[in-house]
């Protein structure tokens, strides 16, 4: 039994990856939940919105790299991020003007808007593949690790190493900053409060003189920024591939729904619930248990509950359990 | 008699472009410092008359004038900017937002300092001051109505319109709300109100309109109407 | 223009497009489009049952199609005796343990009162049971997968005629739909959408990972055919003589003959399903379905069991998708789990239904053919268009190479555009519901 090594192994293989992944999911789910709260539909094009913003960032990163610009130990993509956000904002505003506005004026049923968003998903997906291709793109540069496993072992003398990738550190720090900014905006500024008012009670918001077009525009801008940041962080941490971003739709939706659709705090909580469940259930616990348990009880197998390919199943099962027992989500979202 | 401060005159119309007429030549008006109450049996078009004054349905005939200005063609939002404060019957608060934020949102169209108006609302409804940080949705029914009225007052309206403010609250709370409404009217603000509880409402009304099937059936001061045998027999139940 | 005229004209247009392909490209391509068009039309009918009749938003079509594909393997492939001997019994016992565990949990929950104790017991039984299940199941799987992994490594099927797989595919999909429907129907429409999206991914994950069942990413090749092989036809003197009598080349005509054979089989299935769907649409059952779709609250108030009706139509629609999936795998002659993509097998079917006309069976069929034709032909058209656009660019220009290389992705873009245009300007589709 070796508690210290067990904790380090747990942190290295479960906690750190799950926190990073959870932050990425939370940012994605915030975008979904804001669209749901304000525009009142589930946006199936969100994964591809993330992909588009990330693609612009990747292209800008390559441009900067070609010019020899770098951030030293940090990835160049952070410099390119504003370009990606602006590109994504332009895309969603054009989409809203050309597509969604018409259906808003018609007061179309939410399910019609969902189908419309499927059309938008196709177009964005085609656009991204057309411009950057369907393949895997790596664009992370700079220092790879904040703490590498070897350094950690040398420092502590422990058997187990703890590695923290730069991208993981950046993910968490960026996510904290972005979320803090978002909540400051929603709770402290007039525009942010008007968004919440519009989400809470549309008719009364109109009566109070809140301009719906402005609220919708601000929402899209925020969503574009969130989507791009989430996409770039995910891409830095793993890699950028259009199809993967489309597939992220499922865990992102699961996060938003588990937390309570329309509720920003719920989206964040949901993101971490899904991320931790996915990682813990698909992680092979042999190593951690080997340290944590007395020798006689040491497990023989991998002690992996499910193979990693079933991670979608994890999101899904949690989603289903929450929907069956608490349909409005953990943090009471809106049930329209 | 000079023209009333707010008047909906000879209003005829219904919901939508092609819907049947609900109002027939209906007139309601209110003067500064006055409480005007619209009462009538179920389905008489009380709320519809108020919505017509507020521009939520299209009139085929008739006009709405505020302070001498014809506002018949304006949308409800534009009427709010002209100085009409409206408290809907249902969903009249932002349930997930704090009491103070509700008041802030009420004053959304104002560019000047709203602190003073907020103080006035808190003076009028002291309980709201204590619960200013609490989510409005967590308050009791009567307190929520206070939030709703307070929200409408935040625009510093020239006229306040209430659609059944006492629906679903207990008699004690109703009396308290009516006291507050009298207090508001005493400040000179005209109050136009639709009420289900006709007897109590007419008791505080300076002017009463009894509507039947979308038309004016009886008009007079609250006292007159309460004393009118016709009104008593047909509508107040003896 | 009368309703029938318009319908006929639209179908004639699609037929014309396919004939045009035959005349100017090749008959082989034309028949390929026709065959997949037939299958697409059936899938589209299935989705139309759910969405058009009942307003159920199912975006898990891919999962049901894949289950149909699995059915083909389970029915038609010969059993691998060695694998059965090595671990078949153990795998079956594992599955039985799993099923027994679930039944036990359900019974327990029924017997106990709701509360913390029940939740705790459920959790303990589930987690404990899971380990027991894995302990029984895993060694069996290992044994099966160890048997000649490069060639088999799975249990195989029942070795029955492949045509039997089509109804079995429907049954398999229906079974899955029953489980999903029990859990997820009654949720709001967009929750149901996410739930079905998830189920489809899980079914795919099972196909990709459970090697003992479907060989996973190693694919199952050489599925038996309901029709003779081209090579057999070419070696058949009777066939060669006949086609040469028409002045045709035996190699080409053997391939065409096989495709025509499939077209005949598929047409029969399509006609049967279309007929059944038409009868259902106009029956009291269909009328009630649409009544529920248009006003659920009113229908419920009139005493209709909405959830039950939804479950019925969900199962039926999914079964139709399963049948189509089995047919498609039969046509392909192999099961390739990695080839199932949601854009292609779920959302494209939705484009077919919406463009064709949701709520109208003929619309769904038309949409199936038309969209499949475009899906296939947009790629060469896009390439041609790109060549025109890039013609002024230098031969070795990087931009030109990129644009030409990316032309293939224009099909997604086109499908999205088409869907949005139809939704905007003709929201009820090409052949609207009456």
Instruction: Give the pLDDT confidence score for residue C1 in this predicted structure.
Output: 59
- A237 assigned to some structural domain: yes
Q: Which residues from B are below 8 Å from A200, CB to CB?
A: 94-97
Per the structure, the complete domain to which residue A129 belongs is given by: 14-246
- C430 assigned to some structural domain: no
- Mean pLDDT, all residues of chain A: 91
Q: Are residues C384 and C400 in the same domain?
A: yes
- A102 assigned to some structural domain: yes
Q: Are residues C195 and C332 in the same domain?
A: yes
Tens of pLDDT, residue by residue over C296-325, are: 888 888 888 888 999 999 999 999 999 999
Instruction: Give the pLDDT confidence score for residue B238 in this predicted structure.
Output: 54
Give the integer Cα–Cα distance in Å for A109 and A107: 7
- C354 assigned to some structural domain: yes
Q: Are residues C149 and C160 in the same domain?
A: no
Tens of pLDDT, residue by residue over A157-189, are: 888 889 999 999 999 999 999 999 999 999 999
Q: Are residues C134 and C240 in the same domain?
A: no
- C42 assigned to some structural domain: yes
Structure tokens at B108: 């959304």
Q: Are residues C178 and C95 in the same domain?
A: no
Residues of B with CB under 8 A from a CB of A: 76-77, 80-81, 86, 88, 91-97, 101, 104-106, 108-109, 151, 155
Least-confidence region, from B41-45, C105-109, C131-135, C313-317: B41-45
Q: Helix A190-200 and helix B99-106: axis angle, to 10°?
A: 100
Reading phi first (left if > 0) and then psi (alpha if -120 to 50, else beta), residue B64 is in beta
| Single residue among C155, C190, C206 that ends a domain in this structure | C155
Subunits touching C (CB < 8 Å, at least 3 pairs)? A
Least-confidence region, from A27-36, A292-301, C22-31, C88-97: A292-301
Among A residues 137-156, those touching chain B with beta carbons less than 8 Å apart: none
Tens of pLDDT, residue by residue over C179-213, are: 989 888 877 777 888 889 888 989 999 999 999 99
Mean per-residue pLDDT for B5-12? 92
Instruction: Give the pLDDT confidence score for residue C405 in this predicted structure.
Output: 81
- C433 assigned to some structural domain: no
3-state secondary structure of A187: helix
- The residue whose two tokens read 């099972």 is C206
Among C residues 106-135, those touching chain A with beta carbons less than 8 Å apart: 130
Cα distances (angstroms) measured from residue C18 to each of C30, C351, C370: 6, 20, 10
| Single residue among C104, C134, C155 that ends a domain in this structure | C155
For C419, the closest of A122, A313, A320 (CB atoms) is: A122
CB–CB of B97 and A197 under 8 A?
yes
Is the pLDDT at A300 greater than 80? The verdict is no
Q: Are residues C94 and C118 in the same domain?
A: yes
CATH number of the domain bearing residue C252: 1.10.3470
Name the pLDDT band for C354 (thresholds 50, 70, 90): very high
Q: Please tell me the total number of residues recorded for chain C in this structure.
A: 434
- A315 assigned to some structural domain: no
A81 part of contact set with chain B, CB < 8 Å:
no
Q: Are residues C62 and C199 in the same domain?
A: yes
Q: Are residues C209 and C99 in the same domain?
A: no
Tens of pLDDT, residue by residue over B56-76, are: 888 889 999 999 999 999 999
- A279 assigned to some structural domain: no
Per cent of chain A over pLDDT 70 is 99
Q: Which residues from C are below 8 Å from A41, CB to CB?
A: 190
- C115 assigned to some structural domain: yes
Least-confidence region, from A67-76, B150-159, C161-170, C178-187: C178-187
- Mean pLDDT, all residues of chain C: 91
Q: Which residues from A are below 8 Å from C341, CB to CB?
A: 243
Q: Are residues C290 and C372 in the same domain?
A: yes
Mean per-residue pLDDT for A197-225? 94
Is the pLDDT at A1 greater than 70? The verdict is no
Q: Are residues C118 and C170 in the same domain?
A: no
Go through the domains of chain B in sequence order and give each one's CATH number.
6-83+158-236 (3.40.50.300), 91-152 (no CATH)
3-state secondary structure of A302: coil
Is the pLDDT at B1 greater than 60? The verdict is no
Is the pLDDT at A47 greater than 50? The verdict is yes
Strands (E), chain A: 145-147, 164-165
Q: Are residues C68 and C140 in the same domain?
A: no
Instruction: Give the pLDDT confidence score for residue C303 in this predicted structure.
Output: 84
- C396 assigned to some structural domain: yes
Instruction: Give the pLDDT confidence score for residue C169 in this predicted structure.
Output: 97
Provide CB contacts within 8 A for C46, sequence distance 6+.
Answer: C61, C64, C317, C318, C319, C320, C321, C324
Name the pLDDT band for A2 (thresholds 50, 70, 90): confident
Give A330→chain B minimum CA distance, Å.
16
Q: Are residues C275 and C379 in the same domain?
A: yes
CB–CB of C413 and A119 under 8 A?
no
Cα distances (angstroms) measured from residue C91 to each of B76, C134, C137, C212: 69, 10, 5, 9
pTM score of the predicted model: 0.92
- C432 assigned to some structural domain: no
Per the structure, the complete domain to which residue C84 belongs is given by: 80-155
Domain count within chain A: 1
Among A residues 295-324, those touching chain B with beta carbons less than 8 Å apart: none
Domain count within chain C: 2
- A295 assigned to some structural domain: no
């Amino acid at each position: 039994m070796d508690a210290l090594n067990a904790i380090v192994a747990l942190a290295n293989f479960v906690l750190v990856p799950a926190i990073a992944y959870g932050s990425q999911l939370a940012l994605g789910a915030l975008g979904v939940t804001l669209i749901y709260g304000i525009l009142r539909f589930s946006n199936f094009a969100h994964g591809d919105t993330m992909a588009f913003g990330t693609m612009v960032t990747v292209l800008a990163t390559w441009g900067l790299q070609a010019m020899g610009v770098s951030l030293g130990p940090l990835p160049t993509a952070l410099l390119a991020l504003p370009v990606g956000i602006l590109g994504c904002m332009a895309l969603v505003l054009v989409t809203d003007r050309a597509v969604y506005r018409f259906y808003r004026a018609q007061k179309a049923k939410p399910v019609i808007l969902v189908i419309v968003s499927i059309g938008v998903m196709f177009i964005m997906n085609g656009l991204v593949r057309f411009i950057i291709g369907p393949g895997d793109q790596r664009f992370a540069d700079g220092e790879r690790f904040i703490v590498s496993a070897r350094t950690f072992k040398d420092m502590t003398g422990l058997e187990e190493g703890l590695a923290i990738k730069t991208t993981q550190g950046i993910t968490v720090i960026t996510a904290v900053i972005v979320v803090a900014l978002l909540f400051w905006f929603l709770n402290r500024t007039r525009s942010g409060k008007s968004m919440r008012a519009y989400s809470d009670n549309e008719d009364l918001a109109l009566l109070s003189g809140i301009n719906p077009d402005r609220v919708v525009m601000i929402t899209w801008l925020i969503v574009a920024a969130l989507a791009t940041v989430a996409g770039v962080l995910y891409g830095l941490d793993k890699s950028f591939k259009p199809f993967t971003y489309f597939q992220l739709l499922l865990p992102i939706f699961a996060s938003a729904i588990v937390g309570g659709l329309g509720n920003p705090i719920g989206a964040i909580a949901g993101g971490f619930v899904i991320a931790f469940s996915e990682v813990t259930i698909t992680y092979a616990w042999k190593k951690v248990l080997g340290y944590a348990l007395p020798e006689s009880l040491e497990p023989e197998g991998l002690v992996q509950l499910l193979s990693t390919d079933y991670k979608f199943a994890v999101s899904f099962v949690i989603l289903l359990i929450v929907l069956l027992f608490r349909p409005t989500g953990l943090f009471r979202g809106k049930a329209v | 008699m000079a023209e009333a401060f707010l008047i909906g005159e000879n209003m005829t119309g219904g919901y939508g472009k092609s819907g049947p007429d609900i109002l027939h030549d209906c007139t309601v008006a209110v003067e500064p410092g006055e409480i005007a109450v619209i009462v009538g049996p179920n389905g008489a078009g009380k709320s519809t008359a108020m919505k017509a004054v507020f521009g939520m349905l299209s009139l085929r005939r008739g006009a709405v004038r505020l302070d001498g200005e014809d506002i018949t063609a304006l949308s409800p939002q534009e009427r709010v900017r002209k100085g009409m404060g409206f408290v809907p019957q249902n969903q009249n608060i932002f349930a997930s937002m704090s009491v103070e934020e509700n008041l802030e949102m009420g004053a959304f169209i104002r560019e000047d300092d709203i602190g003073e108006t907020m103080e006035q609302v808190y003076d009028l409804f002291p309980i709201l001051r204590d619960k200013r940080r609490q989510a409005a949705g967590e308050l009791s029914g009567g307190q929520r109505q206070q939030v709703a009225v307070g929200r409408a007052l935040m625009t510093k309206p020239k006229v306040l319109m209430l659609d059944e403010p006492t629906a679903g609250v207990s008699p004690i709370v109703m009396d308290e709300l009516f006291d507050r409404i009298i207090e508001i009217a005493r400040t000179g603000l005209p109050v136009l109100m639709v009420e289900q509880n006709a007897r109590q409402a007419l008791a505080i009304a300076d002017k009463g309109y009894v509507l039947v099937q979308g038309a004016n059936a009886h008009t007079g001061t609250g006292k007159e109407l309460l004393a009118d045998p016709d009104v008593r027999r047909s509508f107040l139940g003896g | 223009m009368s309703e029938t005229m318009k319908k006929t004209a639209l179908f004639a247009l699609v037929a014309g497009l396919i004939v045009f392909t035959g005349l100017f490209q090749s008959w082989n391509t034309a028949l390929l489009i026709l065959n997949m068009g037939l299958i697409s039309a059936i899938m589209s009918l299935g989705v139309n049952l759910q969405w058009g009749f009942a307003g159920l938003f199912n975006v898990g079509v891919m999962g049901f199609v894949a289950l149909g594909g699995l059915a083909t393997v389970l029915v038609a492939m010969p059993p691998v005796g060695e694998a059965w001997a090595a671990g078949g019994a153990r795998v079956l016992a594992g599955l039985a343990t799993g099923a027994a565990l679930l039944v036990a949990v359900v019974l327990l929950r029924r017997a106990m009162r709701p509360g913390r104790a029940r939740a705790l017991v459920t959790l303990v039984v589930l987690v404990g049971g899971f380990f027991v299940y894995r302990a029984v199941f895993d060694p069996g799987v290992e044994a099966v997968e160890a048997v000649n992994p490069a060639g088999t490594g799975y249990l195989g099927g029942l070795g029955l005629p492949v045509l039997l797989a089509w109804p079995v595919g429907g049954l398999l999909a229906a079974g899955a739909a029953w489980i999903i429907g029990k859990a997820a129907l009654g949720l709001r429409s967009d929750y149901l959408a996410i739930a079905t999206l998830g189920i489809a991914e899980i079914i795919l994950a099972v196909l990709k990972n459970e090697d003992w069942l479907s060989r996973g990413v190693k694919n199952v090749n050489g599925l038996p055919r309901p029709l003779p092989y081209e090579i057999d036809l070419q070696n058949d003197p009777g066939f060669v003589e006949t086609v040469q009598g028409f002045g045709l080349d035996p190699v080409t005509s053997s391939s065409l003959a096989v495709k025509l054979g499939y077209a005949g089989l598929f047409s029969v299935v399509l006609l049967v399903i279309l007929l059944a769907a038409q009868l259902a649409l106009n029956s009291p059952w269909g009328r009630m379905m649409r009544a529920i779709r248009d006003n659920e609250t009113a229908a419920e108030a009139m005493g209709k069991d909405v959830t039950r009706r939804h479950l019925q139509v969900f199962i039926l629609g999914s079964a139709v998708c399963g049948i189509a999936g089995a047919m498609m795998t039969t046509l392909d002659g192999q099961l390739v789990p990695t080839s199932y993509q949601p854009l292609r097998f779920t959302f494209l079917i939705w484009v077919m239904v919406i463009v064709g006309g949701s709520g109208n069976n003929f619309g769904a069929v038309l949409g199936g053919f038309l969209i499949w034709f475009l899906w296939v032909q947009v790629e060469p058209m896009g390439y041609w268009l790109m060549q025109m656009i890039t013609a002024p660019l230098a031969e070795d220009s990087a931009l030109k190479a990129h644009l030409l290389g990316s032309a293939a992705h224009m099909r997604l873009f086109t499908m999205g555009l088409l869907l949005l245009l139809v939704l905007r300007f003709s929201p009820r589709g090409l052949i609207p519901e009456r």
